[in-house]
């Protein structure tokens, strides 16, 4: 039997939203071409978009006029950076969007007419939660009294519904870097009302290639990982401040949907140089690594 230390695990997060799309009107007055910046009325009310979100801007009718050089398309998907007054800049990479600035932002064009644009989050990549010190996940099963139901209902619903809750603690930081999420993102997430405080998570009990502490197994490693895969909603976030001590963030969450304990290797997808997914032509779904020749 192999025994592993807690350091063999970690948390991966994937950004997502509850509502699929929100619609806004984009006009020429909303775009500042020299500053590579644009905004919608109400686009960042209640923290609608957060720095590093991968967002699709899709025109409801016709081709979108927004990014210089992008023509003949009804939508465009890029990473966003939102400044303190709600202005939005677009970037090709996650790191550039987190850092912001005009230098790496995409050049914009002024539209010739008003456009009805739908906004939705499209990020499908998992990123590690940086500076995480601990986490705990609790699962429970809700049972139902089925004594008055027939045998068919007992077979299908007698086991009840699995749900869960938990919390994680990490050193507080204000920004994500090097493809890692910070605890500050989760603190922002709990305040986002329109798009929701939901995220997908993988809570790893054992990472791939982890080494057990059992003496005769110290030189060996196991390529299989063990992790919980769930969808979560942030319910509470706090920052603990003490003089002469490191700031720590504590995030509490509840799970939604399926609660699965998995082993093996997480799914991977083929990526372009700009971190965009390579999609299948017929279905527009990401191509998994195990599908590649």
Q: What is the pLDDT of residues 233-259, one digit of tens each?
A: 888 888 888 898 888 989 999 888 777
Q: Is residue 1 one of the residues assigned to a domain?
A: no
Go through 60-95 and write b for each residue having 16 or more CB atoms within 10 A of its CB, e for each that does not: eeeebbbbeebeeeebbbbbbbbeeeebbbbbbbbb
- The verdict on 38 and 172 lying in the same domain is no
Whether the CB-CB separation of 223 and 135 falls below 8 Å is answered with no
- The average pLDDT across 45-69 equals 85
Encode pLDDT of 146-158 as tens digits. Answer: 565 555 554 545 5
- The verdict on 55 and 172 lying in the same domain is no
pLDDT at residue number 281: 46
- The verdict on 210 and 102 lying in the same domain is no
* Residue at which a domain ends, from 121, 145, 160: 121
* Residue at which a domain ends, from 121, 153, 178: 121
- The average pLDDT across 19-48 equals 80
pLDDT at residue number 34: 93
- The verdict on 81 and 164 lying in the same domain is no
Domain count, the chain: 2
Which pTM does this prediction carry? Answer: 0.72
- The verdict on 10 and 92 lying in the same domain is no
- The verdict on 167 and 230 lying in the same domain is yes
Least confident of 92-106, 178-192, 275-289: 275-289
The residue range of the domain holding 267 is: 6-15+126-291
Give the CATH number of the domain where residue 138 resides. Answer: 2.30.110
Could you tell me how many helices (H) and strands (E) the chain has, helices first? 3, 15
Calculate the alpha carbon distances from 8 to 13, 203, 212 in Å: 17, 11, 9
Q: Is residue 97 one of the residues assigned to a domain?
A: yes
Residue 169's H or E segment, with its range, is strand 161-171
Contacts of 54 (CB under 8 A, 6+ apart): 15, 77, 78, 79, 80, 94, 121, 122, 123, 125
How many Å apart are CA 289 and CA 293, to the nearest integer?
9
> Is residue 191's pLDDT more than 80?
no
- The verdict on 11 and 69 lying in the same domain is no
* Residue at which a domain ends, from 121, 152, 185: 121
């Amino acid at each position: 039997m192999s025994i592993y230390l807690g350091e063999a695990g970690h948390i991966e997060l994937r950004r997502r939203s509850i509502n699929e799309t929100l619609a806004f009107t984009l006009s020429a007055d909303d775009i500042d071409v020299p500053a590579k910046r644009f905004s919608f009325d109400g686009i960042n009310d209640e923290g609608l978009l957060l720095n590093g979100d991968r967002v699709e801007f899709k025109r409801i009718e016709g081709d979108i006029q927004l990014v210089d050089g992008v023509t003949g398309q009804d939508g465009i998907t890029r990473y966003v950076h939102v400044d303190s007054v709600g202005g939005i800049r677009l970037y090709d990479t996650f790191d550039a969007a987190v850092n912001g600035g005009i230098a790496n932002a995409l050049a914009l064009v002024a539209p010739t007419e008003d456009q009805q644009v739908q906004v939705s989050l499209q990020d499908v990549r998992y990123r590690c939660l940086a500076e995480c010190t601990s986490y705990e996940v609790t699962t429970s099963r809700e049972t139902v009294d089925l004594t008055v139901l027939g045998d068919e209902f007992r077979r299908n619903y007698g086991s009840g519904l699995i749900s869960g809750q938990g919390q994680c603690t990490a050193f507080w930081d204000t920004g994500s870097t090097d493809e890692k999420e910070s605890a500050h993102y989760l603190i922002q997430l709990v305040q986002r009302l329109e798009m929701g405080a939901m995220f997908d998570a993988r809570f790893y009990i054992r990472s791939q290639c982890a080494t057990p502490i059992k003496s005769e197994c110290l030189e060996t490693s196991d390529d299989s990982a063990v992790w919980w895969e769930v969808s979560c909603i942030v319910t509470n976030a706090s920052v603990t401040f003490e003089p002469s001590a490191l700031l720590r963030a504590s995030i509490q969450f509840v799970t939604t949907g399926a609660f699965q304990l998995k082993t093996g290797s997480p799914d991977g997808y083929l990526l372009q140089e700009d971190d965009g997914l390579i999609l299948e032509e017929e279905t527009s779904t990401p191509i998994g690594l195990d599908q590649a020749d």
